[in-house]
Amino acid sequence: MLDHLSAVVRSFPDDRAAVSNRERVELAVKAVAFASQAQGLAAVLLAEAEDHKSTLRTLGTPSATVIASRTGLSGSQAAGMVGAARRLANAPAAQQAVLDGSISYTHGRAVGRAMEQVPATFTAEQVRQAEALLVGVASQATPDEVLRAVPRVVEQVAPGDAEELESRRLTREREAAWRNRSLSWSTEGGSLVFKGSLPRVEGEAFTTVITAYAQQARRTALDTNDPLAGRTTLVQRHADALVRLVEDAQHHTAAPTLAGDRPVVVVTLEYDKLAAGAAGAGVLPSGDRLSAGDLRRVCCDATVIPVVLGSDSEPLDVGRAGRVVPAGVRKALTVRDAHCTFPTCDVPASHCDAHHVVPWWQGGPTSVDNLVLLCPHHHGLVEPDKHALRDQWVVSIPPGGRPVFTPPRRVQDASSPRTTSPRWFDDPGAPP
Residue 332's pLDDT is: 76
- Nearest CA to 148 out of 170, 128, 126 is that of 170
Q: How far apart are CA 79 and CA 81, in angstroms?
A: 5
Residue 180, burial from CB neighbour count under 10 angstroms (0-12, 13-18, 19+): exposed
pTM value > 0.75: no
Residue 344's pLDDT is: 78
Residue 1's pLDDT is: 79
Residue 300's pLDDT is: 58
CA 296 from centroid of its chain's CA atoms: 17
Residue 73's pLDDT is: 85
Residue 321's pLDDT is: 41
User: Is residue 288 within 8 Å of 268, Cβ to Cβ?
Assistant: no
Residue 177's pLDDT is: 86
Residue 169's pLDDT is: 73
10-residue stretch averages of pLDDT, the chain, 432 residues long: 78 80 89 92 93 89 89 88 91 94 94 87 91 94 87 84 71 82 89 89 84 79 67 86 86 61 56 52 62 63 52 46 63 80 82 81 77 83 59 77 76 53 34 33
User: Is residue 371 within 8 Å of 333, Cβ to Cβ?
Assistant: yes
CA 271 from centroid of its chain's CA atoms: 23
Using CA atoms, how far residue 211 sits from 61, 135, 342, 428, in Å, is 44, 34, 34, 47
Residue 42's pLDDT is: 92
User: Is residue 69 within 8 Å of 98, Cβ to Cβ?
Assistant: no
Can you list the alpha helix ranges (DSSP code H) found in 319-411? Answer: 327-337, 376-382
